[in-house]
Amino acid sequence: MKILVCVKRVPETGARISLTPDAQAVDDTYLGHAISPHEECAVEEALRLAAAHGGSTTVLTLGPPAAAEQLRNALAMGIDAAVLLETDGSDWEPQATAAAIADAVRDGGYNLLLFGNESADSGGYQVGIRVAYTLGLPVMTGAKGIEVANGVATVRREAGGGWEILEAALPAVITVREGINLPRYPSLPGRLKAKKAEVVTSAPEARPGGLRKVRLSVPQEASTPVVVLGEGAAAAPRVVEVLRAAGIT
Amino acid sequence: MILCLVEPGELSQEALTFARRLGPVKAFSVAAGEAYAPGAWAAAIVQLVERDSPSAVVAAASDRGSEVLAHVASRLDLPLAANCVSADAGNPMTVVRQRWGGSLLEEATLAGPVKLLTVAPHALPAEAGDEEVETFTPELTEDDLRVRVVRREEPAAGAISLGDARVVVGGGRGVGSADGFAVLQQLADALGGAVGGSRVVTNLGWRPHADQIGQTGLRIGPDLYIACGISGAIQHWVGCKGAKKILAINKDKNAPIVQRADYAVIGDLHEIVPAIVAALLGSAR
């Protein structure tokens, strides 16, 4: 089985997010970067599926030259090959991103294309689905479990407290949610190997898309001062009073 | 005219409220067979767009709404603005949408003959309206049914789902262990609520991932959220900030969650939570 996993480089934000002066991006001067969480799980899932069924794994990202760092992280986890669709670092909107990925993988002979359900930063919920349509492939989203047997992929996903089970014949696109697995840490030999591995790089043109970012802002939150009901177990009667006044009990 | 997809639940009421601000609303639901097929729902919306020529199609950014509108966007090759909190009716439309799960906002322009938008959960209050909901039955091809739900596993009978619970008790690193959640469950039971946890807790395996409240888990909007031993990192905050009231129980009075909560009790949750349970049970007698 030939598996592709698409990932996105995102800054690792802490307790506060601050913006660049032009309000076009998160100020990542003092931040590290990582693979967006759902996609890191997609990398792990690709490795597990390849281990169970045999085959090869490729990681792909669309992003600035620095995104090679995230590709090497995936290589260090055990992915076999890496593809960088290089941009100038500007945000590509979802239509452009999906078109470039579809072009790059169309002739790759992949049986399974894994994406994150949505990226941590932009959260567009659509690139994987758009790629599937462009390539004429079935797509299943929100996977918290994937099984492959006899050329059919079975996906489990959460729905209203229960589960939905979906099936599609391969080749197929599946978008993955955190919780499907716990991603492994890269091994030291993995890291050394990844350092020297080739990253196949190309620079696609962005097709025009219809969603254009104007500016980012940090939302203002109405801040009413916290009412401290007390300290320790002695506060319990006061808590019950407040719950009762709020109509909770 | 604005088409608005209506599914059961509060999120669709929020989507309707959002849609009304853009123009006259036509609400619809989809009847496309017992087994949910995203392609069939997308086909329904594409057919409605052809029939009604709406200026926009709006759906809640629920799992289903997000999925279906992305299918529609792909079929029509139109842009889609996900997780919007506001929009004007211009062309191109100016929208404000959430990024980073709502810890940032993006002002963007949205082009296209039909604007496709999903509405961020719990970002605006649901207002009552009097639209009739048309049940639309699409004409389907085999291709529309290529992917569909082949089986469902229903939640345990009587279980209160985290997404629907009016009271949620959440635990973080401060709970200390999987066993530590027993008292949180007692508190939830006493209040008719459900238990969830932070990303730390699900990554440590103290709770199943399905119980995660946060950017990569569930975004909840209960009447009351009781955050126990949770510091309140952005990842978690964006999942719980939709709660109408937040009570934080934390050792650290300077923790971000305490600063942002409505109420707080400072101290060890292992003493405080059982005391609240006892007080609740005692006062019920």
Taking Cα atoms as reference points, which of B164, B167, B153 lies closest to residue B244?
A: B167
The residue in chain A having the minimum alpha-carbon distance to the alpha carbon of residue B266 is: A231
Give me the residue label for tokens 């800054």: A11
**What pLDDT shows up at residue B136?**
98
Within a domain: residue A222?
no
Residues constituting chain A: 249
- Determine the Cα angle at B106 with ends B19 and A104, to 5°: 100
Q: How confident is the model at residue B160 (pLDDT cuts 50, 70, 90)?
A: confident
Give me the residue label for tokens 């808590």: A239
Within a domain: residue A241?
no
Say how far apart CA B219 and CA B122 lie, in whole Å: 8
Within a domain: residue A234?
no
Is A111 touching B (CB cutoff 8 A)? no
Question: Could you tell me the CA-to-CA distances from A181 to A82, A137, A144 in Å, in that order?
Answer: 22, 25, 8
B210: which 2 tokens? 């399905």
Within a domain: residue A98?
yes
Average pLDDT, chain B: 94
Within a domain: residue A227?
no
The residue in chain A having the minimum alpha-carbon distance to the alpha carbon of residue B208 is: A179
Name the residue ranges covered by the structural domains of chain B.
Answer: 2-145, 167-284
Q: How confident is the model at residue B9 (pLDDT cuts 50, 70, 90)?
A: confident
pLDDT digits (tens, 9 = 90+) for B185-208: 999 999 999 999 999 999 999 999
Query: Considering its fold, how many domains does chain A have in total?
Result: 1
Within a domain: residue A154?
yes
Say how far apart CA A182 and CA B203 lie, in whole Å: 7
Taking Cα atoms as reference points, which of B244, B229, B153, B238 lies closest to residue B195?
A: B229
Mutate to test the interface with A, among B84, B106, B116, B141 (most CBs of A within 10 A): B106
Contact A239 B265 (CB under 8 A): yes
CA distance A196 to chain B (A): 31
**What pLDDT shows up at residue B284?**
59
Is B251 touching A (CB cutoff 8 A)? no
pLDDT digits (tens, 9 = 90+) for A88-119: 988 899 999 999 999 999 999 999 999 999 99
**What pLDDT shows up at residue A160?**
81
Contact A138 B256 (CB under 8 A): no
Within a domain: residue A178?
yes
Residues of A within 8 A of B82 (CB-CB) are 118, 123-126
Is A138 touching B (CB cutoff 8 A)? yes
Where does B2-145 sit in CATH, by number? 3.40.50.620
**What pLDDT shows up at residue A16?**
76
Residue of A138, A161, A162 with shortest CB distance to B147: A138
Is B20 touching A (CB cutoff 8 A)? no
The one-digit pLDDT tens for each residue of chain A (249 residues) are: 999 999 999 998 866 789 999 999 999 988 999 999 999 999 999 999 999 999 999 999 999 999 999 999 999 999 999 999 999 988 899 999 999 999 999 999 999 999 999 999 999 999 999 999 999 999 999 999 999 999 999 999 999 889 999 999 999 999 999 999 999 999 999 999 999 999 999 999 999 889 999 999 998 877 789 999 999 999 999 999 999 998 888
- List the CATH number of the domain containing A109: 3.40.50.620
Examine the pLDDT at B90 and tell me if it is beyond 70. Answer: yes
Is A224 touching B (CB cutoff 8 A)? yes
Is domain B167-284 classified as CATH 3.40.50.1220? yes
Residues of B within 8 A of A122 (CB-CB) are 99
CA distance A140 to chain B (A): 7
**What pLDDT shows up at residue A15?**
66
Domain that holds residue A132: 2-202
Two domains, one topology: B2-145 and B167-284: yes
Examine the pLDDT at B285 and tell me if it is beyond 60. Answer: no
pLDDT digits (tens, 9 = 90+) for B40-84: 999 999 999 999 999 999 999 999 999 999 999 999 999 999 999
ipTM rounded to 2 decimals: 0.95
Question: Could you tell me the CA-to-CA distances from A16 to A27, B222, B232, B235 in Å, in that order?
Answer: 11, 24, 11, 10
Is A208 touching B (CB cutoff 8 A)? no
**What pLDDT shows up at residue A75?**
98
pTM over 0.90: yes
